[in-house]
Chain A
Amino acid sequence: MTKTGIIAAAAGLAAIVMVFVVVPGMRDAGYIIRAYVITAVIFVAYIWSLAVRLDRVEKDREARQGDVAS
């Protein structure tokens, strides 16, 4: 888990909660909720995956530089 991933997940969750609080009384609420929730999940999943991949590459690089130095 990375700090960026956690912030993205928290923000996505906050957006989903807001959608579930505000939208249910509206006409065609089901479609609106699905559209917003799916969008939030896609963005959070991508940002999470990016943060994890970036963290892994940076750690590998640091480890290799440490090996070269020693």
Chain B
Amino acid sequence: MGTVVLFVVVAAIVIFVLVYGMRLVGMSVSTMKRAGTITGALSLLLFAVGLYLGLVWAPTAQIMGDSYRIMYIHFPSWVGTAAGYLTAFVASVLYIRTRKYGYDYVAVAGAEIGLLFNVVGLITGALWGRPTWGVYWTWDPRLTTTAIMAITFAGYLVLRAFLEDPEARARVSSLVAIIGFVNVPIVYFSVRWWRTLHQVQSSPDTIDPPMVLALRVMMIAFVVLFLYMLTQRFMLARLRGEEELEAVRLEVAGD
């Protein structure tokens, strides 16, 4: 029963993130600024509560000791990574279908923030790996696929920087984001398909309730922080995009 409820809640959060991300396209700047203020303030509050719960209130783990507390930033960073890449994927599909630049701006915002969380996940994972596995890095399938995912989306951002024509950039990078997203489910299932060093996903039923509560608060804090960053980054991409399209229009008119 607990797992079903958790699945429904996670699905609802994923749908909310996607709907919010895609609705940014039609939002006015003043509405985005208001949304940015709300999500920013809410994430600060949630981080304050989450850090207290994770570092002070939650008990020490029986076997792992205190190093498990890295989990409170390591696991939520993968939630942010998945949210970012999923947003980039859906926005890219919508761009290919509609050719609306707004979706391209959402895609670049999602990819950039997804990569940011991806890097945080890799660093915190390495720092957790050293006291538990004895190494910072090993070519475990989960770690390797995650690194490939980061390199793919870093490549996506580099590619965008090289393409000057807005239409070609949006089209080509959309295809890269769609193909790059294929790796996301592979990363998720890698721990089940190839059992090596990285553990499989834990169930909340096997974790002490205070630890679960602290983790959930931190996960919500990361999701809200993701929404804040997405709003700000989208606003930046849109303002720059409008400026660029205006310059192209003036150039064409000048010819």
Contact = CB atoms under 8 A, between A and B. Distances in A.
Interface of A: 4, 7, 11, 15, 18-19, 22-23, 26-29, 31-32, 34-36, 38-39, 42-43, 46-47, 50-51, 53-54, 57-58, 60-61
B77 interface: yes
A31 B233 contact: no
B26 to A, nearest CB: 20
Contacts of B123: 35, 38-39, 42
Interface string B224-245: 0100010011011001100100
B53 to A, nearest CB: 12
B74 A54 contact: no
B170 interface: no
Contact of A35 (B73, B229, B233, B235): B73
B255 to A, nearest CB: 21
Interface residues of B, number: 34
10 contacts: A4-B40, A18-B51, A19-B55, A23-B69, A26-B65, A38-B123, A42-B123, A43-B225, A57-B239, A57-B240
